[in-house]
Amino acid sequence: MRTIKGPAIFLAQFAGDEAPFNSLDAIAAWAASLGFKGVQIPSWDARLFDLAKAAESRAYCEEVQGTLAKHGLVVTELSTHLQGQLVAVHPAYDAAFDGFAAPAVRGNPAARQEWAVEQMRLAARASRNLGLTAHASFSGALAWPFVYPWPQRPAGLVETAFAELARRWRPILDAFDEAGVDVCYEIHPGEDLHDGASFEMFLDAVGNHPRANILYDPSHFVLQALDHLAFLDIYRERIRMFHVKDAEFRPTGRVGVYGGYQPWVDRAGRFRSLGDGQVDFKGVFSKLAQYGFDGWAVLEWECCLKHPEDGAREGAKFIAEHIIRVTEKAFDDFASGGTDEAANRKLLGIG
């Protein structure tokens, strides 16, 4: 067993144009003041990080690490959620996702995809230069518009989608393998990899690639009515990252899993700050400790009610209190008889 590292915080939802959220140095000071020990950096936010520079310059990466070290922090992982999304975009979402790309490739799906793939390759090299072993991303989606089978899906549609998704991702996974870094897909509605079954389909399609792994975020499973503890039992060997995020699912006579097109505050399933939802975090941290997860517990704040700064302050304390310092001895060692093989055989009546 191993002790989980943390608490850490994903900076994407906090970065902004006002101090202390507008530079890496300032936001690091803020995070450290709340008790965080690590930060997960969104690679697309130029206010905090230059991905291309990090991919080419170890000196720049040392500068980033030095900035964080001044405040007692380390970088836990980089994130390419936005770029990974653009590796595979169904035409129905072209306009909606276009804003995630660099201005030069907007309005041109083929160029946008090439840009996204190159961003992922940069992220592999940047992660290596930072000494990281895991990376957070989205898979993108080709089949998501057909998630509910009405009208009936044509035979082979889903298989074709996953074959194409794998074709696009396999060279990226190879680039991360060369860099010695796992790609951890956040299993998330809106992505083709949105539950265990869809992850397995992808894993099959990429030939069980060793770098195709999971960012575990139990909040997305609560919203799907999926057993978030059993997921840990099934996929523990592929879980390499952990977002600590809470959610609640409160179906009514009006709305259920699909949400009725309502705003987040009125949906049956909605994200909450840590401790305010229905995720069994005692169970989650216990299973992760049991299975030897040695990555970071990273707060991702998303809540339709609470202010983000309150969520961050409370979240640091919440994570710290849930991390289990694993034992190095058995609780009943005091009663050990110190027997040997001969004594054991005698006790069993076999010699």
- pLDDT (tens digit per residue) in 237-291: 999 999 999 999 999 999 999 999 999 999 999 999 999 999 999 999 999 999 9
What pLDDT sits at residue 209?
A: 98
What pLDDT sits at residue 323?
A: 98
What pLDDT sits at residue 339?
A: 74
pLDDT tens-place string over residues 41-63: 999 999 999 999 999 999 999 99
Question: Which CATH number do you get for residue 238?
Answer: 3.20.20.150
Element (H, E) at 351: none
Cβ-contact 181, 124 below 8 angstroms = yes
**Average pLDDT, rounded, for the chain:** 96
Task: State which residues form the domain around 210.
Answer: 5-348
Could you give the CA distance from residue 142 to residue 158 in angstroms, rounded to a whole number? 9
What pLDDT sits at residue 331?
A: 67
Which residue is associated with the tokens 């990555």? 295
Residue 302: which of 293, 311, 294 has the closest Cα? 311
Cβ-contact 300, 42 below 8 angstroms = no
Per-residue DSSP letter, 57: -
Q: How many domains does the chain have?
A: 1
Query: Which stretches in the chain have pLDDT values below 70?
Result: 331-335, 337
Q: Which residues contact 141 (CB under 8 A, 6 or more apart)?
A: 88, 89, 90, 93, 190, 191, 192
Calculate the dihedral angle through the C-alpha atoms of 338, 342, 348, 349, rounding to the nearest 10 degrees: -140
- Using a cut of 0.85, tell me whether the model's pTM lies above it: yes
